Amino acid sequence: MIKKLLSLLTLFIVGVLMSTAAFAAVSIEQVKLDGDTITESSTNFILDVQRGDTMDVKVMVKATEDHDDVEVEAVLRGIDSNDKVEDISETFDMKSGVTYTKKLSLPLVAKMDQDRYKLRVRVSDRDSATVEKTYELEVDTKRHDVEIRDVVLSPNTEVKAGRALLATVRLRNIGEQDEDGVKVVVSIPELGVSAADFVDELEREDDNDDQATTEEMFLRIPEDAETGKYTVRVEAWFDDGDKKNVKETTIYVLGDEKAAKAQEKTVIAVAVDKQSASQGTEAGYPITLTNAGSESKTYTIAADGAAWATFRVAPSNVMVIGAGESKAFTVFVKANDNAPVGQQTFMVTVSSNDKVLKQLPLSVDVQKADGASQLKRGLEVGLVVLVILLVVIGLIIGFSKLRGDNEGEEKDEKTYY
């Protein structure tokens, strides 16, 4: 019995050794990091890396036997972040005596410390043991680098013309040296306003005081500012003012009363602001424009959302509407075949003479593609379009009748006189 057990154990060990030896025929010939060859026998330095960039890893592998379903991967471990620093190649087959080169990219996440890491390069297939090589890396970031971590605006979404916008900025020193006298400038270039503050000291990364927040900076929005979205630009100057980092955000400005009165001369009616659409199908949003002014106007309609859909305007995104007239158009949004399921939003902007009259936030409830729901949705859209067309025809007839009555009164007055 003991002999039989020993015999089975021997066969198992021999099988494992043969499997290991079989894949050991694969070798990692060379590894390059950003174009430089690295070695196992020494520490390889990565100098002045920029967090958020990627390291290009090129791995050359060779086999003395044929292998199927092989993958090459490179990883850095021990980084306190949900974003993993790793990459893996597509599966490929290897032929004996042929050298294969695989290109990988390792993202340098923002939480990556200046420290020593092990780069592990592995080659493996479906069943065999893994071939691995380890390379020592010393990550050494820039001597001077200040990150703009956050920008807080008050009010945070929109501000009226003539009112104040307050801004505070959070900074972090991610360089190797302490920084003194960091200057922070917040500006709205299109409106010609700006404000500045100084942070006296930022200690180097990982020290106790490597982060700081500025005092509130005061920006007054001009009283004649037009309604629209504006870019807020934040600049952090450091290293004695020789270097800077930039971050941008946006603020929506509500124009003055004169601009508001001018906008009131155009009446914008939205038939429906939320609809449902299956993936790969369109939803229509009928909108009516009434020019209540005394002169003809040219209107431009633009629809913008995200990569989840495409947009079009029918019959045209440019319309000329006479005084007292109304015209209708329909904004169509088509959800992509792979659009995320659930409520998605987009913006329709109505402009005239290069001035934004109104921005209409609309939404669509994206549902999974289904043949029956697509037919139902098409019928619903057609019904809504028909209703809005009937409304427009009624408005046109009303305006025409009113104009005819006015002309009749004028004729009667002339005859009486």
Question: d(Cα 291, Cα 297) in Å, to the nearest integer?
Answer: 7
The stretch 204-221 carries a mean pLDDT of 85
Residue 262 pLDDT class (50, 70, 90 cuts): very low
Where does residue 48 fall: left (phi above 0), alpha (psi -120 to 50 degrees), or beta otherwise?
left
The pLDDT of residue 108 is: 74
pLDDT digits (tens, 9 = 90+) for 139-168: 766 778 888 889 999 998 899 999 999 999
Q: Is 9 exposed, middle or buried (0-12, 13-18, 19+ CB in 10 A)?
A: exposed
The stretch 72-93 carries a mean pLDDT of 87
Question: d(Cα 19, Cα 22) in Å, to the nearest integer?
Answer: 5
Task: Report the share of the chain in percent with pLDDT over 70.
Answer: 77
Residue 215 pLDDT class (50, 70, 90 cuts): very high
Residue 416 pLDDT class (50, 70, 90 cuts): very low
The pLDDT of residue 412 is: 45
Mean pLDDT check: name the lowest of 113-117, 368-372, 402-406.
402-406
For 405, the enclosing helix (H) or strand (E) is helix 371-416
Closest alpha carbon to 102 in 56, 36, 64: 56
Number of H helices, E strands in the chain: 3, 28
Residue 111 pLDDT class (50, 70, 90 cuts): low
Tokens of 84: 């993993």
Edge-to-edge strand ranges of the sheet holding 54-63: 36-37, 26-33, 54-63, 99-107
Q: Specify which of 297-306, 319-328, 382-391, 400-409 reaches the highest per-range mean pLDDT.
A: 319-328
Tell me the residue length of the chain: 417
Tokens of 31: 């590894």
Q: What is the CATH number of domain 26-141?
A: 2.60.40.10
The answer regarding whether domain 146-255 maps to CATH 3.40.228.10 reads no
Mean pLDDT check: name the lowest of 199-208, 217-226, 322-331, 398-407.
398-407
pLDDT digits (tens, 9 = 90+) for 305-314: 667 888 899 9
Would the CATH topology of 26-141 be identical to that of 265-401?
yes
Q: Say if residue 410's pLDDT is above 70.
A: no
Torsion angle in degrees (nearest 10) through CA of 171, 176, 177, 179: -10
365/109: higher pLDDT: 365
Instruction: Tell me the domain boundaries of the chain.
Output: 26-141, 146-255, 265-401
Mean pLDDT check: name the lowest of 7-16, 30-39, 129-138, 350-359.
7-16
Q: Domain 265-401, what fold?
A: Immunoglobulin-like (2.60.40)
* Average pLDDT for the chain: 81
Q: Computed over its alpha carbons, how large is the radius of gyration of the chain?
A: 33
The pLDDT of residue 401 is: 63
pLDDT digits (tens, 9 = 90+) for 1-25: 555 555 555 554 444 444 444 455 7
